[in-house]
């Protein structure tokens, strides 16, 4: 609204508080519009007949004679329930599946449904002896406690069914109203099948709630990186990212924050904490040296980026060494960091012997250190279980995890290991030193993790920016208000987490047009920079995955990966550091991937020509 207010200042000029121009303004709503007119601020009020009659019924009888309804044809009528109107919105209606409408044999079923609804309403509606109906009555059953009765539909020809077009009649034109402007569309990017299905559901519900612009669901591929590329290239408009992915997308893809998700009115998604058992001699981050640690997983915000980034900030792990996993394996005695032994997460797989030492696997010798539910110590639950079963000295998790698994707050049969754990058995390790009870996470933590960001491409124009912001504001307002029962915008959806938006989010707030990722990330930015492999290597986007020594006379082969996950390429740019890498090429000076000895056939030619005497890898 602030954007529209800046662009069109007259929109808020007559509000009781023009500066805030909020939906809680004294002149907001149906009655508020009439009050604005009565106070002499406006010359006409757009409201409903019902609100007008009811409000004037509470005022002086003489006052009603001073006001009239203005009709579309220019005529005027006295204030009464049968006055002229500018449009009729049909009442809410119950719907059933089409096959039950079309099949004549279902007529008896339809009658049963109607009788059932009628009985529920009769038994729970407002009466002189029951002034307050059940809480659910006007939340999930009828639109208002003022609904007096439920009537059976009578369609054309006296039939007991109607199509939506027959029921809505001319009101359909108001839903599909053409404004004469180019039709605007917001393209939401989805990175999984579950997310695509939620988006398609939201598309229908948002349309029914008249939220504009219209939603289009894009699915460029089943990965987050494919969505980041799609937004950067202009093929999608927005995507929601947690802090770590947002940092990389903003810094290396040029995406910009347009809004952010909030939880309980704050910009903090969670607190990354270090939990120790009682008693523990660990009283500072320095004391973690040579300790055993349990982590949620390689690359996770709470279990890896926050603690390791903080250790680097305090100078406990060298900042200059880019192989973070190797340095971490030297700092800790043993760990369980699921994913550390998988090149998809830990590109070099360096330090995996130490980083996977505490892991349990599936309990049968398989899936050890796997970043999946098959590893017992994987994720938030697994990391705390690792500590609870006394495998580690410390666990790096989110603040809610120790609270959830102590004092019998969880009753899942699969979490039997937590039934005897008490909150007094654990303490938080503070980044500045000392310990605190696990409930004091706001004062004692490793890092404050920022809430998620909604991002778009960097070169978006102001018009599109305002459309997106208006759309996001409408989504947040509608589906956290009374319509929250019609669609679950935030939270688990069909058993899946963080689809389209974060589970813990309860509202979306717009950011200024010139918002920058460095400002929005705030105190969390140094931690992300410390864990930025690209910046550390100072080589744009490349990182060596592994090496294979053939012999002193045969080149070392490197496979490298674009850190943003786009493609595999051959890395020959360390020739100056290791001249033997190109010694056997046909053209050692250029050492390019178009060399005569490059590729599978080229390696064979190299051997046939006598350049390589021992072996080849193809």
CA distance 453 to 262: 9
- Would you call 19 exposed, middle or buried from its count of C-beta atoms within 10 A (0-12, 13-18, 19+)? exposed
234 is in an annotated binding site: no
Supply the DSSP string of 547-581, one letter for each residue: ----BTTBPPP-EEE-TTS--EEE--TTTTT-GGG
| Closest alpha carbon to 317 in 336, 304, 298 | 304
Helix axes of 49-58 and 29-38: crossing angle, nearest 10 degrees: 60
382 is in an annotated binding site: no
What count of other Cβ atoms lies within 10 Å of the Cβ of residue 331? Answer: 20
- Would you call 492 exposed, middle or buried from its count of C-beta atoms within 10 A (0-12, 13-18, 19+)? exposed
CA distance 615 to 618: 10
CA distance 255 to 236: 12
N- to C-terminal Cα separation, the chain: 61
Helix axes of 324-331 and 306-313: crossing angle, nearest 10 degrees: 80
* Residue 450, token pair as written in the block: 């920022």
CA distance 552 to 612: 10
Compute and round to an integer the Cα radius of gyration of the chain: 32
Q: Where are the alpha helices (DSSP H) in 78-106?
A: 98-102
48 is in an annotated binding site: no
| Closest alpha carbon to 313 in 530, 528, 521 | 530
Q: What are the binding residues for hydrogencarbonate?
A: 296, 303
Q: What are the binding residues?
A: 30, 296, 303
Q: What are the binding residues for Fe(3+)?
A: 30
């Amino acid at each position: 609204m602030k954007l529209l207010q800046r662009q069109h200042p007259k929109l808020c000029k007559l509000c009781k508080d023009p500066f805030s121009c909020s939906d809680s303004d004294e002149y907001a709503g149906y009655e508020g519009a009439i009050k604005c007119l009565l106070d002499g601020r406006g010359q006409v009020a757009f409201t409903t007949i019902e609100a007008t009659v009811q409000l004037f019924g509470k005022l002086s009888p003489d006052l009603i004679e001073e006001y009239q309804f203005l009709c579309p044809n220019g005529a005027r009528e006295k204030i009464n329930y049968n006055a002229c109107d500018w449009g009729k919105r049909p009442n809410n209606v119950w719907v059933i599946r089409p096959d039950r409408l079309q099949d004549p044999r279902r007529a008896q079923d339809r009658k049963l449904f109607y009788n059932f609804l009628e009985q529920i309403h009769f038994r729970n509606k407002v009466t002189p002896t029951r002034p307050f109906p059940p809480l659910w009555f006007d939340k999930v059953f009828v639109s208002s406690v003022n609904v007096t009765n439920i009537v059976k539909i009578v369609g054309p020809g006296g039939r007991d069914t109607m199509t939506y077009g027959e029921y809505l009649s001319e009101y359909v034109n108001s839903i599909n109203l053409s404004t004469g402007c180019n039709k605007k569309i917001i393209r939401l990017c989805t990175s999984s099948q579950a997310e695509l299905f939620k988006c398609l559901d939201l598309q229908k519900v948002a349309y029914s709630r008249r939220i504009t612009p219209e939603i289009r669901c894009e699915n460029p591929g089943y990965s987050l990186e494919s969505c980041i590329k799609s937004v950067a290239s202009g093929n999608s408009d927005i995507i929601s990212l947690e802090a770590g992915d947002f940092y990389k997308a903003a810094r290396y893809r040029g995406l910009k924050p347009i809004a952010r998700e909030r939880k309980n009115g704050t910009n903090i998604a969670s607190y990354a904490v270090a939990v120790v058992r009682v008693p523990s001699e660990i009283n500072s981050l320095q004391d973690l040296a040579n300790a055993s640690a349990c982590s949620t997983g390689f690359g996770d915000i709470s279990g890896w980026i926050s603690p390791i980034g903080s250790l680097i900030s305090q100078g406990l792990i060298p900042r200059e060494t880019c192989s973070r996993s190797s340095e971490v394996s030297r700092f800790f005695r043993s760990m369980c960091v699921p994913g550390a032994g998988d090149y998809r997460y830990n590109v070099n797989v360096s330090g995996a012997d130490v980083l996977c030492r505490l892991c349990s696997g599936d309990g049968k010798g398989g899936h050890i250190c796997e970043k999946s539910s098959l590893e017992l110590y994987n994720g938030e639950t697994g990391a705390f279980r690792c500590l609870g079963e006394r495998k580690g000295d410390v666990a790096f998790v989110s603040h809610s995890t120790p609270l959830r698994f102590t004092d019998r707050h969880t009753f899942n049969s699969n979490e039997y290991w937590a039934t005897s754990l008490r909150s007094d058995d654990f303490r938080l390790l503070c980044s500045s030193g000392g310990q605190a009870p696990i409930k004091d996470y706001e004062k004692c933590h490793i890092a404050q993790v920022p809430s998620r960001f909604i991002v778009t491409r960097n070169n978006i124009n102001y018009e599109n920016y305002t459309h997106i912001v208006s759309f996001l504001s409408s989504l947040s307002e509608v589906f956290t208000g009374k319509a929250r029962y019609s669609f679950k915008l935030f939270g688990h959806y069909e058993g899946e987490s963080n689809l389209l938006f974060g589970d813990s989010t309860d509202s979306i707030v717009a950011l200024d047009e010139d918002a920058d990722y460095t400002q929005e990330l705030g105190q969390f930015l140094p931690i992300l920079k410390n864990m930025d492999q690209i910046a550390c290597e100072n080589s744009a986007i490349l990182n060596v995955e592994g090496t294979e020594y053939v012999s002193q006379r045969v080149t070392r082969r490197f496979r490298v990966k674009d850190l943003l996950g786009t493609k595999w390429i051959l890395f020959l740019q360390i020739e100056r550091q290791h001249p033997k890498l190109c010694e056997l090429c046909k053209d050692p000076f250029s050492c390019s991937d178009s060399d005569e000895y490059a590729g599978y056939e080229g390696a064979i030619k190299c051997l046939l020509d006598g350049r390589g005497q021992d072996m080849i890898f193809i």
